Amino acid sequence: MQISSLFDGRSTVSFEFYPPKTDMARTALLETIDHLAPIGPDFVSMTYGAGGSTRTVSIDAAAQISKRTPAAVMSHLTGVCHTRDEIAAIADQLWSLGIQNLMALRGDLPQDSEVSDPFASFRYSKDLIPFLKSVHPFCIGSGCYPEGHLETPDIQVGIEHLKEKVDAGCDFLVTQMFLSNKSYFDFVDRTTAAGIAVPILPGIMPVTGFSQLEKFESKFGVKLPKELWDRVKEHGDDKVAIEQIGVEWAAEQCKELLDAGAPGIHFYTLNKSLATIRVCDLLNLKGRSVQ
């Protein structure tokens, strides 16, 4: 099933996972997928390590997930440190496994890379997207940044680059996590004005701890709403209270987004199920049917 066929006027729900590095982590991931199954996600996605560092485990995990859920499966794929032949071989392998959806990204450079020009084959995702579509008729998503990318903090410049990706054949977009819906709504208005017409799925990650909230800002450039910051800070090291605040905040975000017509919600799960399940419970999302 191709994800683009799911945007038929109803709201989608999707979950993102990262590749497990140990047998124990693999077992925990499969248990998480089973716990989330009653929600009836429309699709799930599997990330890809910097420079293809998790290539084999990412593909294996995506294949395992596709056998475990009726939801569509999307595998992330990055162009950095890969030749065109390598990308074609990976695309062939994924297609043979029945995976018809890819998240095409430029990718981050691994810290220990010794490649002289890691972006020689695919400097940007806009270069990767048409190449992948020439190999097989994949449905292709890509990322976007409502509050600006750390490398491109000017949002308007980012939107110009985004338009190039969409024109290159990107079928839908998924945002980086954000904590203020105003960022998403303003971003959608600006992308619409720029002529970008593909669905833009808001990415949501429930806050589960104080240190995590601090990393949102320092590592990803996510703006922290003062109200949320004050509520979390008030509870100090009380992890249970902070997680409850995070779940309620995420649920309120999702409700407002869906009520306003967002095409769906994409949950960043961190390979855990509890917080995401609690958000979905508050939204009465359990028991959704997968087409």
CB 110 within 8 A of CB 51: yes
CB 77 within 8 A of CB 87: yes
CA angle 96, 106, 216 (to 5 degrees): 110
The reply to whether 16 belongs to the active site is yes
Dist. CA 251–CA 249, nearest whole Å? 5
CB 183 within 8 A of CB 146: yes
Dist. CA 122–CA 269, nearest whole Å? 29
- Per-residue burial over 126-155, b = 16 or more CB atoms within 10 Å of its CB, e = otherwise: bbbbebbbebeebbbbbbbbbbbbeeeeeb
The gap between the terminal CA atoms of the chain, to the nearest Å, is 9
**Which of 249, 239, 243, 257 lies closest to 181, judged by CA?**
257
Strand, helix or coil for residue 115 = coil
Q: Active-site residue numbers?
A: 16
